[in-house]
Amino acid sequence: MRRVLFLFVLCGLITVSGARAADDMNAIAERYAHLVLALGQHDPDYVDAFYGPPEWKTQAEKEKKSLDAIGAEAAELLKTLRVERTAAPLVESSENGNSGDEMLTLRREYLQKQVSALAARVRMLKGEKLKFDDESRALYDAVAPTYPDSHFDEIIAQLEAKIPGEGPPWERYEKWRKPFVIPKDKLDAVFQLAIKECRTRTQAHVALPPNESFTVEYVTNKPWGGYNWYKGNYHSVIQVNTDLPIYIDRAVDLAAHEGYPGHHVYNSLLEKNLVRDRGWPEFSVYALFSPQSLIAEGTANFGREVAFPSKADRMKFEKEVLFPAAGIDGSRADEYYAVQDLMKQLDYAANEAARRLVNGEIDENAAVQWLQKYAVMDPKRAQQRVKFIKRYRSYVINYNLGEDMVRRYIEKRSGTDPDKRWSEFGKLLSSPRLPSGLTD
Ligand SMILES: [Zn+2]
């Protein structure tokens, strides 16, 4: 009897201290959210999404805290988080396949890294110049590998064997791939078919919140190809930039990256599982220049392979549905995608251009020329990319390095089993795991 009573009292103590610690963490998380909104007053790109209490935003606008004040508060918050780390671990039930204890550890680490990235962004806005790799480490919790020019030369030599003609590879490539442009009047129909397929495939494996939805807009004059604006309440606005021709491979890429199971699903699952079910306010705001972006872009890119686990699977859908809808000759689909596989290996060339440009080793013109040569881009595309690099700098690593890091993390856990891959992917989309947590 006495032992039972003792256990009862002990459980009571754990619950009380657990609840208090959870309150403390929520208070810290709220301060973080306010800081992100405050920094958004100095950097229009910084707050990518916010769907918390609207008065928080009004408050940030009214207060218009100085960068110095924001930096000081971030330092204060980091100190508090360090103290929290030594606090007793909490007990919480397991859900969404993420164990309770691990979720709380990840949450603390998440807040620490996000606040420390915020502090770095403050320093940058105050004029501190960071080298490319230092910047990506500070903002995105990761550093991209460096490749010599010869690495890209080897891939380009293989590419040249596949695309006939005279002139520099970018010119030959542009000419060769002309028949694979989606005609403008068919773009929306093709894109909607790709979205429908990606949604069906995602829905079969991931519990999407009811009423989730997005609208698609076609825009011009942007430095990016597509963008997901998450509005909260499980709704996104997806914008597709039509400045440059859109090729047939982009239909599934965009549908998976911006929609299912990419950004739209990631944001919806964070809102459902972390903001609403757990009451974690830090996820109601999304700081663009932060480690969270590597997870967001990495999962959005890798999502394509989760939705289409085999090449044969994807090719079947392309040939039977998308090519006919776009009025493109499906008999050349295999040939087209063999070239795309090579082009994908050139993704890291854009990181090299960005690294050199950010480090001041080359100027804008040289960056455009370098991209033409090593990323096999036509001048217009290379110029668009340089515009992107100038605005977002080391953010570029989040796409390809992010994808590779997410792939390694998921494959280590799931092997080649497509169902297991979906469940690990869903878990990652519903957790506060950050880039350094992918390699542990
Ligand atoms: Zn993206």
pLDDT tens track for 285-337: 999 999 999 999 999 999 999 999 999 999 999 999 999 999 999 999 999 99
Structure tokens at 308: 């289409």
User: Counting every residue, how long is the chain?
Assistant: 440
CA 424 / ligand 1 centre spacing (Å): 20
Q: Whole-structure pTM over 0.75, yes or no?
A: yes
CA 225 / ligand 1 centre spacing (Å): 9
Cα separation, 439 vs 426, in Å, equals 18
Q: DSSP characters for 353-374?
A: HHHHHHTTSS-HHHHHHHHHHH
The predicted structure's pLDDT at residue 20: 72
Cα separations (Å) of 3 from 14, 15, 17, 91, 297?
Answer: 17, 18, 21, 22, 53
The predicted structure's pLDDT at residue 100: 67
The predicted structure's pLDDT at residue 18: 64
The predicted structure's pLDDT at residue 97: 59
In what helix (H) or strand (E) does residue 198 lie, and over which residues does it extend? helix 187-203
SS3 at position 24: helix
CA 413 / ligand 1 centre spacing (Å): 24
CB 115 within 8 A of CB 81: yes
CA 82 / ligand 1 centre spacing (Å): 32
Which segments in the chain show pLDDT lower than 70? 1-18, 86-100, 440
Question: Any bridge partners for residue 241, and if so which?
Answer: 219
Angle at CA of residue 435, ends 280 and 351, nearest 5°: 130
**Which residues contact residue 182 at a Cβ distance below 8 angstroms, ignoring those fewer than 6 apart?**
190, 246, 247, 248, 250, 251, 326, 328
Residue 140: closest CA among 295, 349, 359: 295
CB 125 within 8 A of CB 117: no
CA 246 / ligand 1 centre spacing (Å): 17
CA 227 / ligand 1 centre spacing (Å): 6
Backbone CA torsion sign across 353, 357, 358, 359: positive
Amino acid, single-letter form, for residue 126:
K
The predicted structure's pLDDT at residue 3: 44
CB 263 within 8 A of CB 234: no
Locus of tokens 């806005």: 125
In what helix (H) or strand (E) does residue 329 lie, and over which residues does it extend? none
CA 366 / ligand 1 centre spacing (Å): 26
The predicted structure's pLDDT at residue 15: 53
The predicted structure's pLDDT at residue 86: 65
CA 304 / ligand 1 centre spacing (Å): 12
Structure tokens at 157: 């030599």
CA 261 / ligand 1 centre spacing (Å): 12
Q: DSSP characters for 122-151?
A: HHHHTT----HHHHHHHHHS--PPP--HHH
CA 95 / ligand 1 centre spacing (Å): 27
